[in-house]
Chain A
């Protein structure tokens, strides 16, 4: 009995030392997983922590199986491995043996113990199907990854129409034509703000609203002026087209000419509203002030 005990202890301690080794690895946790991923290509039997169930003896067995499966090893080495495992097993008690059987599974246990003739030689089974309509065939022994695609999630592609090539280049007339409806909306909103300004009692808010109203009004005015300028341009171009049809050279609308036309239009508008005199009066005053500056300064 005494002669047996040190060897049995040795056999047991072999396994238990493996256990300690793997327990350490277990504790490291996340780093562990990363390590195994990096060392995927190593055929070394060290990195077996990715297997399900961190049982030390199981790892031992799996190592043996995989060392066998590396076709580089000779058959003799394989039998040596088996012999060593069998020796270890013979030193285990019956209860431990039973537990081992339960943990590993009968198939694996029998394969290693009695040697499996099917496995020697055929390693990575390549499953090829007869035609593409047949179902796919894959190995049933590989545990599924923890993180796997559950449901396909579509990635939202964001497009900024300002910088996207798909939107094309900016064309002002097209833009104004397609978004012309906004002007009507702005007009309506301005009227609303006007009404609310009248109603508003709170002086601060009234001030704010007044500012807003002014802003809106000014924006409208600038838009109108821009439109007017474009109209002038368009009319001139139309006129020039008739000249081109006749065969003559078209003239370019100079800035001065443009200003004149604008002025003419303004005069027409003023006549409609009847404010010609007021306008002319203001204009005269302004020019008078400017003229005054040119006069010599009297020093007393």
Chain B
């Protein structure tokens, strides 16, 4: 607590340094906290202990030290808990769940984005895809949609795909707000910084661009990857993490310091990445292995090889290794999920000191699990399923139904 240094503020300066900004934000935050606590208690005098406790909690969360051990509290999801929602014509490539858990957005290879009602299980709105060649006139995508991202206050939805631009939508009305041009390759990942309107976009042109969605402006570009970026994620801090595909590297980008931390994985393509908390993250490769990493070590803490060793529909074990197509983590807990094409979504539990990754449950799911998203409270897991891999057509699982699956994660009765 209170690790901010106070800088001498020159009176004539309009701009503030990073430290001044931190100081100001910290003061605002404290003021907010006081107000919240005051409202909660409805008393005049606010105990300092409560404020300090709250600060401690938040600090722990933000520094990634807290790990809520919830994984054991879940029970095996049954088939009744899975809601299948169909509406996309081609494979679903990406899903996001709104912060209030009521809506789910999905993007697909048929260039459309669909808004679903997660509570009732209905399709609310479709943003149709246009034909190739109509980029100028059509509002929406005219090529595969690869990624979606939603801001933590639910005010903005960003989508990107093969079209090389990022589209910004209003999630309530599904109206287009803005189109961000600038990338030279397909957009493979989007992430909003939690609690802000800063958008990170990762692309196949090996660069990451930062956009300010409030001002609809491009801020800067970050370089470093030597192969197309396959995934991006972001939490509270002004950082983003990306996985670099065949260059076998994961990079954490520190925006303020203009630097990157490089983590090197096993030689193989790292296809997906997700933050678990501010100092740990999980990655999946095309060698069928999942790794848990820490910010402090350049090598992974745990690696589980042959994670998805499942068999085909016909019972034949596949001759080619199953690629881990997506990973997702419930923030600040020990529960993670991974998906591949072997017919199931696997839930894993991370041990207390990140030394063991135990398989917890296996949810049967036919098809390519192209995207996974946990709801913030951990009660719902949304999966985007397709007959094909989101990036290409190496395989096609005919028995799979294109669409999204909303899986209720029930807690065990204690």
Question: Is B223's CB under 8 angstroms from A135's CB?
Answer: no
Tell me whether A135 and B298 are in contact in the complex, defined as CB-CB below 8 angstroms, given that A118-B18, A127-B259, A140-B253 are known contacts: yes
Docked complex Cα distance between A137 and B261 (Å): 4
A134 within 8 A of B: yes
A105 within 8 A of B: yes
Question: Is B224's CB under 8 angstroms from A144's CB?
Answer: yes
Question: Is B258's CB under 8 angstroms from A141's CB?
Answer: yes
| B interface residue count range (under 10 / 10 to 19 / 20 to 34 / 35 or more) | 35 or more
Shortest Cβ distance from B10 into chain A, in angstroms?
A: 9
B246 within 8 A of A: yes
Chain B 209-224, CB-CB to A under 8 Å as 1, else 0, gives 0101001011111111
B74 within 8 A of A: no
Shortest Cβ distance from A240 into chain B, in angstroms?
A: 65
Question: Is B224's CB under 8 angstroms from A140's CB?
Answer: yes
A34 within 8 A of B: no
Docked complex Cα distance between A211 and B207 (Å): 71
**Residues 75-126 of A contacting B (Cβ, < 8 Å):** 101-102, 105-108, 110, 114-118, 125
- Cβ contact of B219, chosen from A107, A114, A125, A137, cutoff 8 A: A107
Question: Is B258's CB under 8 angstroms from A140's CB?
Answer: yes
Docked complex Cα distance between A48 and B221 (Å): 18
Tell me whether A139 and B258 are in contact in the complex, defined as CB-CB below 8 angstroms, given that A133-B298, A144-B224 are known contacts: yes
- Cβ contact of B17, chosen from A117, A136, A137, cutoff 8 A: A117
Shortest Cβ distance from A140 into chain B, in angstroms?
A: 4
**Residues 298-341 of B contacting A (Cβ, < 8 Å):** 298-299
> Which A residue's beta carbon lies closest to that of B247?
A150
Question: Is B14's CB under 8 angstroms from A135's CB?
Answer: no
Q: Which residues of B contact A118 (CB under 8 A)?
A: 17-18
Docked complex Cα distance between A217 and B34 (Å): 108
Which of B14, B207, B221, B257 neighbours the largest number of chain A CB atoms within 10 Å of its CB?
B221
B262 within 8 A of A: yes
Docked complex Cα distance between A141 and B220 (Å): 9
Question: Is A106's CB under 8 angstroms from B217's CB?
Answer: yes
A203 within 8 A of B: no
Q: Which residues of B contact A143 (CB under 8 A)?
A: 207, 223
- Cβ contact of B223, chosen from A117, A144, A151, cutoff 8 A: A144
Which of A105, A114, A140 neighbours the largest number of chain B CB atoms within 10 Å of its CB?
A140
Q: Which residues of A contact B217 (CB under 8 A)?
A: 101-102, 106
Q: Which residues of A contact B15 (CB under 8 A)?
A: 110, 114-117
Q: Which residues of B contact A135 (CB under 8 A)?
A: 252, 261-263, 295, 297-298
Docked complex Cα distance between A235 and B215 (Å): 102
Shortest Cβ distance from A34 into chain B, in angstroms?
A: 22
B183 within 8 A of A: no
> Which A residue's beta carbon lies closest to that of B262?
A136
Question: Is A141's CB under 8 angstroms from B223's CB?
Answer: yes
B103 within 8 A of A: no
Question: Is A150's CB under 8 angstroms from B246's CB?
Answer: yes
**Residues 208-241 of B contacting A (Cβ, < 8 Å):** 210, 212, 215, 217-227
A142 within 8 A of B: yes
Tell me whether A105 and B246 are in contact in the complex, defined as CB-CB below 8 angstroms, given that A127-B259, A136-B298 are known contacts: no
Shortest Cβ distance from A213 into chain B, in angstroms?
A: 51
- Cβ contact of B222, chosen from A106, A133, A136, A141, cutoff 8 A: A141
- Cβ contact of B259, chosen from A116, A138, A144, A151, cutoff 8 A: A138
Chain B 338-350, CB-CB to A under 8 Å as 1, else 0, gives 0000000000000
Q: Which residues of B contact A142 (CB under 8 A)?
A: 223-224
**Residues 254-275 of B contacting A (Cβ, < 8 Å):** 254, 257-263
B6 within 8 A of A: no
Which of B220, B225, B227, B263 neighbours the largest number of chain A CB atoms within 10 Å of its CB?
B220
A148 within 8 A of B: yes
Q: Which residues of B contact A141 (CB under 8 A)?
A: 222-223, 258
Given A117-B13, A140-B223, A141-B258; 4 other pairs, CB 8 A cutoff: A105-B218, A134-B296, A140-B253, A141-B223
Q: What 5 A-B pairs are tightest by C-beta distance, nearest first?
A: A135-B298, A135-B261, A140-B260, A105-B220, A140-B222
